[in-house]
Each structure stands twice: as structure tokens, then as C-alpha cells.
Amino acid sequence: MTRSPRLIHLSHEHASALKLALAVRALTPDDPASLPAVAQRIRDTFERELVGHFEEEEKHVLPRLEAAGRADLAERTRRDHDRLRELAAALANPSVDAVRAFAAALTAHVAFEENIVWEALEPGAGMSFDPEAI
């Protein structure tokens, strides 16, 4: 099946989100001096890339899921987005735990979309990966 340009575009943004999550997960707790800069980088990237990405999915992908009878997947996507917005806002007070919670939630969310949501919409479209292996 041909992949829709929108899903391809969103997948490219997923790859860059995963890069951010990977960089964040490399942070070591014994380097507290780097925390404010890491938290700021996440918040900047969130504003610049993820806010619009989530809005695009909510506007264009979720209605497709609902039309396909997968309101359950649309609901989980909305919940994940709200949780990630909360976790990003919490980084105004940076801590290692907050940074790691954001990175873990972002990785799990991208895996959910690529492995389950994209597959529900267009079989074969997802990049199919194990978030534990990242």
C-alpha cells in the first residue's frame, strides 16, 4: 500500500523526536550542571517541533482513526499528548527524574504511533521498533 505523504512527514518528525530522546537518555545523574541546559533544550524543541506535530496529528490523524473504528487508539494518543505537554511544562523546574520521565514517555509514544497507530491506518507504514532497545 502507498503511504500517505502526511504519515511519511510525521514519521520523519518521529525520527527527530527519537534523536532528542536518545540524547536526553545519555544524561548522567552525576552531571547536575548540565540539567538546566538539557531541560531548556527539551522545552525549546518541544515548542519548535512537537507542539505543531501533536496538533497536526490531532487534526488529521485522529479523525482517520475514529473513522476506522479505532476511537480507542485516538483516545490513547490524546492522553499521551496531554501527558507529554505536562511533562514538558514540568521541566521549568529541571530534575533528572523529570528529564528521564519526558524522554521515556516520548520514546514510548513514538513507538505506539509507529507500531500501532500507523499500522492501524496503513499496514506496513510504521517503522516498527522496540522502545526498550533504544
Where does this chain touch Fe ion (CB under 5 A) — which range of 41-49, 65-73, 90-98, 106-114?
106-114
Beta strands in 2-133 (DSSP E): none
Q: Which position among 20, 113, 114, 125 is part of the footprint of Fe ion (CB under 5 A)? A: 113
Binding of Fe ion by 114 (CB under 5 A): no
Single out the residue of 35, 22, 48 nearest to residue 91, CA to CA.
35
The reply on whether position 57 binds Fe ion by CB under 5 A is: yes
Residue 45 CB, nearest distance to Fe ion (Å)? 14
Q: Give the interface segment with Fe ion, choosing from 23-31, 67-75, 87-95, 108-116 (CB under 5 A).
A: 108-116
Q: How far apart are alpha carbons 100 and 39 in whole angstroms?
A: 10
Q: Tell me the C-alpha distance between 33 and 55, whole Å.
A: 33
Query: CB within 8 A of 37, min separation 6: which ones?
Result: none
In the complex, the smallest distance separating the C-beta of residue 117 from Fe ion, rounded to whole angstroms, is: 8
Q: What is the residue-wise DSSP string for 25-42?
A: HT--TT-GGGHHHHHHHH
Question: Which of the ranges 18-26, 27-35, 55-63, 95-103 carries the binding residues for Fe ion, by CB under 5 A?
Answer: 55-63
Return residues touching Fe ion (CB under 5 A).
57, 113
